[in-house]
Chains A and B, each alone.
Chain A
Amino acid sequence: MSASPEVRSEATLMMGNAAIARGALEAGVRFASGYPGNPSSEILGFLSSSDADQPYVEWSINEPVAMEAAAAASLAGLRSLVTMKHNGVALCIDFMSAFSITGCRAGMVLIACDDPGAMTSSVELDSRSMAVLTRLPVLEPSTPQEAKEMVRQAFDLSEEFGLMVIVRTVTRLCHGHGEVVCGPLPQTSTVACFDISRPFTAAPNLFVPLTRMVLQKLSAAQERFEDSPFNAYQDTPGADVLVVASGLGWLYALESAAAVTLPPVSFLKIGTVYPFPDRLAMRAMRGKRRILVFEETDAWLEERLKILAADLAAEGPVPAVSGRGRLGESGVLERYGELTNDTVRRAYGQVFGTTQTPRHPAFITRTTQLLEATLPVRQLSFCAGCSHRESYWAIKAALAVDGRDGFVAGDIGCYGLASGPTGYNLIKTQHCMGSGAGFLSGFGKMAQFGCRQPVIAVCGDSTFFHSAIPALINARINGSRGLLVLLDNTVTAMTGMQPNPGSGCYTQDGRQPAVAPEAITRAIGLFTAVLDPSQVQDNIFTLFQLLQEPTLSVAIFRHPCVIHSTRQHGRLEERVWVEQGDCRGDACGCNRFCVRVLGCPSNKWDATLGKAYVDTDSCSACGLCVSLCPAGAIHQAPIAAAGGKQ
């Protein structure tokens, strides 16, 4: 026996997004851009914090610009990476379809991060479908290790095919941790230069020849993928069922198969999703009675396999393909949402005719007890001290004083929580980044059709730059009436405090000057009021006045995000407390205003005493509850003066 334990793995522990960044570094990436959005947000952070030869890294103003900037680096001869979530990929489809026609030069990789189940998104989209639509190759990893390898090799494949390659990942892979064995980091010294003798233009007269070239490139990619190590076929003798899986579906397929007793099954793992390795799949499908597909989230592999199954009809019986199913029919899996071990086991049960309970009753009881014991039921809420709570209070009050059933058109971001109780249920339309401003443009024209209701659109500072400006110009140039409220917390808060043009950007030499939103709105020709959210009563009056104007105007509520500000500058040296003698409890008649209506996580109710109190650990001393308590029972003072007041 050795004096030292055996080292059986040379791996380190790495988050999926860190593994993706590592793969790019090992490939010698020189330029990286993106727009933040979960689950993709950490990738650029890992790239920029690497002490390897750092690539140039930027948060771009939106996803299409990020992709075009990275494409420029590729055309100048530098390997480039662009990251975004699925919503951003959808925005890029126009550019991607043209970029596939012109092709790229140095290797370029898009990391498309999907969010099955829409855990941190308003919708779930399958980037694979968008890649097929725009004729770009797609790889899909199953583990952090494979993610690192795929990203590294995707740069080589991109240069081999002359096409941007997409590596598609999902939330659980991006944010999960796993073992990763790192490879060496290359020395890169390519000098950027655009070859003016080789244009990259997608013009109408070139559409046919360039499209033929794209299809040739995809054929070459398909041939390459037929024997790619990212695919694996495990043929089990006597098996008449084939399980085909990609991404995390592969892990669920294996894990669930190990947990239940199955008859012999063959497995086909697909890592090269598009172009699909048809010959490999047909070889695996021959002689099978049934094919079961595990993929997230659309039935893309499933539909491809059904086409191939039809091709096999000439050779004998056609295998039945099961998975997410067709619209209008029930598949063995739902047509939306994440795969889980439970759903995969149920699918196995349906295919193999078993009716066993997928989970042991004792397990269900125990996990239910644990959840009830450890997880309190909480509403989605603005953070303690978030200035949006003050801003929305002013909006709510102004609309109430106006009295014409006005409403708020919103979009997504922290402030989008105002569609719920934390923002007094004010937001009545909510779709995507910038949609509130677009709705303002349209609702603002409804007066000529007899509509008397005023409309307020809200958007955040990052969203303003991302996509609200064109809508605002449209509203201005078409004479729409209404009010845009820009909730400016000086940072892209919801996705992890990334800087945006309004907050300025950090460089090695310091900070680039910020772009002031009010300079833009005033240049558009709109009256713009810049307001301090903490001046609630003044702001109610200002908003009310603006709502009476038959024009379009802008109010900017500006206050730094409390979380970001605290990280940067420390906590405010002030304390807020409820003077217990002044709080009248349920006898007040306010119906627990501070706890129930304001909904700040720091305003608490002591059920024993029947009075309100302030949780000083989480309170950031914004003072809103101090100004609104009808009994004047909540006080604020510098910590030194407040002493031990709780």
Chain B
Amino acid sequence: MARATAPAAGRQYGGTISALVKFALESGRIDGAVLTAAAGLQPRSVTARQAAQIDGCAGSKYTISPTVAEFNRSRQEIGGRLAVVALPCQALALNRMLAYDPAEPAWRVEPPALVIGLFCTWALDQVSFTRMLAQRLNGHTIHRMDIPPPPSSVFQVFTDYGRVLELPLEDVKPHIVNACHSCPDMTAEASDISIGCVENEQDWNTLLVRSDRGAALLAAAAAAGKLEIRPLATAAETHLAEASLAKRRRAILPQAPAPQQVFRQEVS
């Protein structure tokens, strides 16, 4: 488990991702990071080149953005060593770049310098979810979003002036991207470090270190005093493994109802 020693404003849980990316930038390990910024209601994939730009990207978005496209754009137009904060599916796509043909031009061959993977149970379709949200927000600005641990069954949207809009999860689930129902990967297995949260530990993140460069970055960030680290409790580790296995099982043989299929709809 880890948490930032100087958490960013707008951070969710331990603020570990922002702290790690900032440290990687400031220590010269990377030249930029592809992140998802909250831009109005619709999150946008962006490339941060300065540590000061990272705080604005903190917090879960719950929707999927064209992150890989932004990485490709930045790699081609600007270049340099880029980190990517990615959902499991995006981390897998980025990992495939390791198999790119060395005969290709350099801008197409260079894989990410670092992939920080996000724990993900499912993601929401940007267009339809944003539209639904806009109808319920009455013009208020989103501060952050969260799904509290069970049994709450709500999707919380924190707006300006401290208001909290609570949507029943059942209203949100129809907006889940269909492919997520057959995705087996909860913990971004193709990344250097996977980061999520753990129940009942609101100020901490759970980390799974998956590569040597991921381990080196984490150790250096801790040594520099940017992160506080402690072991994950055995019970929490078991729970995480069970949750990850459950997603894999659902992908093999779905148990939850699929999104409503078609329909002969009467015109109202």
Closest partner residue, chain B, to A14 (CB atom): B127
Residues of A within 8 A of B138 (CB): none
Segment touching A, from B153-161, B218-226, B255-263: B255-263
Interface size, A (range):
35 or more
**Which listed residue, B99, B126, B256, touches A366 by the CB 8 Å rule?**
B99
B137 CB, min distance to chain A CBs, angstroms: 15
Knowing A7-B39, A179-B69 touch, does A51 contact B132 (C-beta < 8 A)? yes
In Å, the complex CA distance between A56 and B267 comes to 6
Interface residues as binary, A528-555 with B (CB distance below 8 Å gives 1, 0 otherwise):
0000000000000000000000000000
Given contacts A57-B265, A259-B104, A363-B101, contact A5 B53 (CB under 8 A): yes
Residues 207-265 of B contacting A (Cβ, < 8 Å) = 249, 252-265
Is A498 interfacial (CB 8 A cutoff)? yes
A571 to B253, CA, bound (A): 9
Complex Cα spacing A362 to B178, Å:
36
Please tell me if A8 contacts chain B, counting CB pairs below 8 Å: yes
Establish whether residues B264 and A512, one from each chain, have CB atoms under 8 Å apart when the complex forms: yes
Instruction: Compute how far the CA of A384 lies from the CA of B47 in the bound complex, rounded to whole angstroms.
Output: 45
CB contact list, A6-35 vs B, under 8 A: 6-14, 18, 22
Which chain A residues lie closer than 8 Å to B255 at the CB level? 566-567, 570-571
Contact: B53 with A4, CB < 8 Å?
yes
A507 touches B261 (CB 8 A): no
- Which of A41-49, A113-121, A122-130, A406-414 lies at the binding interface? A41-49
B265 near A12 with CB under 8 A, answer no
Q: CA separation between A362 and B267, bound complex, in Å?
A: 59
Interface residues as binary, A205-221 with B (CB distance below 8 Å gives 1, 0 otherwise): 00000000000000000
Q: How many residues of B contact A (CB 8 A)?
A: 55
Q: Smallest CB–CB gap between B57 and chain A, Å?
A: 7
A360-B101 contact, Cβ under 8 Å, with A3-B52, A618-B252, A618-B253: yes
A369 nearest in chain B by CB position: B99
Closest chain A residue to B249 by CB distance? Answer: A617
A398 to chain B, nearest CB (A): 30
Q: Find chain A residues with CB under 8 A from B44 CB.
A: 7, 9-10
Assembly CA distance A359 to B252 (angstroms): 35
A499 CB–B CB distance under 8 Å: yes
Chain A residues whose CB sits within 8 angstroms of the CB of B104 once the complex forms: 259
Interface centre among B39, B132, B264 (most CB of A within 10 A): B264
Tell me the B residues contacting A by CB distance below 8 Å. Answer: 35, 37, 39, 42, 44-50, 52-53, 55-57, 64-66, 69-70, 73, 99-105, 108, 126-128, 131-132, 174, 178, 249, 252-268
Interface residues of A (CB under 8 A from B): 1-14, 18, 22, 42, 44-45, 48-52, 54, 56-59, 177-179, 182, 258-259, 357, 359-360, 362-363, 366-367, 370, 384, 496-499, 505-509, 512, 563, 566-568, 570-571, 617-618, 620
Q: Can you give 30 A-B contacts (C-beta < 8 A)?
A: A1-B50, A4-B37, A5-B49, A5-B56, A5-B57, A7-B37, A10-B44, A12-B65, A12-B126, A44-B262, A48-B263, A50-B128, A51-B128, A52-B131, A56-B266, A59-B263, A59-B264, A178-B66, A179-B66, A179-B69, A259-B104, A259-B108, A363-B100, A363-B101, A363-B103, A505-B262, A506-B261, A507-B264, A566-B255, A567-B255
